[in-house]
Amino acid sequence: MKKIITLLLGLVLVCGFAGCGGSGTGGGNNAQKINILFSGWVNTPTTADDPYRAYIAENYGLNVQLNANSDFENAAIMAFNSTENRPDIISFPSYTSYRKFFKQGVLLDDWTPYLQYMPNFSKSLNAQSQAASKAVFTDGEKLTALWTPADPPTWSLKLREDWLDMYRKDKAKEETWAPTTPDDLLDFARWIDAQKKAGVKEFEDAYAFSTAGGGNSLGVLGTWMPLMFGSVTVAPYGFYVDKNGEVQFGTTDGSYKEFLDYFKIIVEEQLIEPAWFTQQYAERKRTYAGKIGIEWMPGEITKNTQAEFNDKKITYAQRGMTPPEGKSENDVIDATDLWKTYALPKKQGTENERAGYMPGTGLAGKVITVSKATAQSKSKMEKICKLIDDLYCYFDEETGEYKRGEAYDALRWGVGIEKNLQFQKIEGSPQVYICTSSERAGFTEKYYKEKQNGAWDWGAWFSSTNDGVISADEPHVNALVLKIAEHDNLTANMPSLPQIGDYVSLDASLLSDMTSDMVSFEYRYVNSKWSAENAQKEYDSYVKKWNSTLHGQEFLAAAKTQFTELGLIG
């Protein structure tokens, strides 16, 4: 029976050449030098005795230099203009950055003849889940690029479950009640504020919402709250194609106004912490300190909250909380069950086809290819091909198992490279767990990745957030690890729609001006004392400005043309 594969590959790469096989690829002494250019996580070099580099040299015959950068665009320009360190493998962080260099003719332009040499990838290229992606990277008979599948959502709505339980009792709601509309969420937020105003000790200095705008954005709140009404209201990421084939945005479908009115209530009623617009992310302390009730975060929120409680030795008595069975008032608060993941609420009665959907990461994650010059070397491509094919990662729906190549586990997680880094089974789950703290795991010798943080970048250019691995610093699988897995599994399986606006190439300067202007208007709108009538007038006036002066209609027209060329319309 043919396997049905859900394409959650850590790397969907095509690579090939005549005679690309597994023979003759090893041998550290005769390793060929190659350069991998990408946007890293850490972006610092490692030492000469890097065991990850040695692993690739020994098993694939390649002496790899990582060119990891935080400013990928400028690094790529410099690399391709260099006479000595031109890149061999390039992992582009976005489709638009890839297209910029593809048009210059410096990248291999057709991978179709080489598919037969990548057996692991060949299992997945024609999967239904990749049909739209394949259309984007197809030009006639040519497959013009390689890609990693879009990662499923990892950030989602997190609510303080202990507070929600109290709210349910106060409001005589069922034990399983959950907010399904923005109004439901707002009522819960108002309840939190009421507890604080009533002097309940547990709610001292507590707020419903939090974000960190850094003085120039709405922070994470701007990436999720608009989704209850429509698409994200950041251009061009929020551009989408409606069922009639027209390109829409929050300013054209009305959802921008709905979001602003909702957020205005939150600000007016002081349901969000005061420094929400000016504070930096690192200054956002209340969440992990247990002082925020509604968040948008990945599953690690539970781990980080527990770490904060442990570090500050915050006890039940200090917070005025009733300890659960088996705990005393003087024990540090157990954060395992404080946060719970919930589905994104959706405006009741809305006809907006994007409302209530999680934000997908586009049609692809990273775009990965080789330079045209590198493709001319048969011996180098043979080794690159073997390495790439061993970086596969997908979930097999028929067996219910995550499949990861040996090189994926080695380079992403260190398993097989660092002797003390090992996966642990999670009972009743296809996922595995890994403890990334040598100290917590009981080892006296630090992991190489702990001594050299730059080693994490060995996995940055091909990794998937849905590889079936849960990581934390707990020494063994425990309730905290299981809760993180629960968060992530629930989030990954929520209905989502891809944000295809990332595929649009627009004038960067004009787009930056639009973004800044929109943030200024949003801040002015939500902090205003306008009546509903005046607010409508101000909004209508701004939309006219957005359409004309800020080039909104021009951008939408350009997006429609580009979406059509990519096969995303019609």
What CATH number should be reported for the domain holding residue 336? 3.40.190
Rounded Cα distance between 157 and 165, Å, is: 16
- Note down the domain range covering 304: 156-360+495-500
In a domain, 402, yes or no: yes
Rounded Cα distance between 101 and 178, Å, is: 47
3-state secondary structure 87-107: CCEEEECCHHHHHHHHCCCCE
Q: Tell me the mean pLDDT in the region 240-252.
A: 97
Q: Tell me the mean pLDDT in the region 273-294.
A: 96
In whole numbers, what is the pLDDT of the chain averaged over residues? Answer: 91
Residues 377 and 345 in one domain: no
In a domain, 569, yes or no: no
The continuous run of DSSP H or E covering 35 comes out as strand 32-39
Cα angle: 108, vertex 111, 116; to 5 degrees: 145
Report cis status (omega within 30 of 0) of the bond before 93: no
Rounded Cα distance between 261 and 70, Å, is: 36
Residues 354 and 385 in one domain: no
- State the pLDDT confidence band at 29, using cuts at 50, 70 and 90: low
> Which strands sit side by side in the sheet containing 156-160, from one edge to the other?
294-297, 156-160, 339-342
Rounded Cα distance between 320 and 480, Å, is: 23
Rounded Cα distance between 76 and 92, Å, is: 9
Cα angle: 406, vertex 113, 55; to 5 degrees: 20
For 214-245, write each residue's pLDDT tens digit: 999 999 999 999 999 999 999 999 999 999 99
Residues 16 and 106 in one domain: yes
Would you say 54 and 27 are in contact if contact means Cβ atoms under 8 Å apart?
Answer: no
Would you say 159 and 342 are in contact if contact means Cβ atoms under 8 Å apart?
Answer: yes
Would you say 466 and 492 are in contact if contact means Cβ atoms under 8 Å apart?
Answer: yes
The continuous run of DSSP H or E covering 296 comes out as strand 294-297
Residue 2 has pLDDT above 80, yes or no: no
Structure tokens at 507: 């004038």
pLDDT of residue 251: 98
Residues 285 and 380 in one domain: no
For 87-140, write each residue's pLDDT tens digit: 999 999 988 889 899 999 999 998 887 777 888 877 767 777 788 888 888 888
- State the pLDDT confidence band at 567, using cuts at 50, 70 and 90: confident
Rounded Cα distance between 513 and 493, Å, is: 36
pTM for this prediction: 0.85
Domain end: 500, 531, 555, which one? 500
- Percent of the chain at pLDDT above 70? 94
For 446-459, write each residue's pLDDT tens digit: 999 999 999 999 99
For 333-367, write each residue's pLDDT tens digit: 999 999 999 999 999 999 999 999 998 877 888 89
Residues 145 and 167 in one domain: no
Residues 199 and 145 in one domain: no
Single-letter residue type at 36? I
| Helix (H/G/I), strand (E/B), else coil: 473 | coil
CATH number at residue 127: 3.40.190.10
pLDDT of residue 148: 79
C-alpha distances in angstroms, 566 versus 112, 122, 237, 500?
18, 23, 16, 11
Would you say 555 and 238 are in contact if contact means Cβ atoms under 8 Å apart?
Answer: no
Domain end: 492, 521, 544, which one? 492
- State the pLDDT confidence band at 15, using cuts at 50, 70 and 90: very low
In this structure, the number of other CB atoms found within 10 A of the CB of residue 4 comes to 11
Structure tokens at 250: 């929050």
pLDDT of residue 151: 83
Total domains in the fold of the chain: 2
Structure tokens at 271: 């349901």
For 58-90, write each residue's pLDDT tens digit: 999 999 999 999 999 999 999 999 888 899 999
Residue 22 has pLDDT above 80, yes or no: no
pLDDT of residue 8: 38
Would you say 266 and 272 are in contact if contact means Cβ atoms under 8 Å apart?
Answer: yes
Residues 236 and 144 in one domain: no
pLDDT of residue 393: 86
Would you say 436 and 473 are in contact if contact means Cβ atoms under 8 Å apart?
Answer: yes
Residues 389 and 450 in one domain: yes
SS3 content of the chain, % helix, strand, coil (to 5): 40, 15, 45
For 497-520, write each residue's pLDDT tens digit: 988 998 898 999 999 999 999 999
Rounded Cα distance between 203 and 192, Å, is: 7
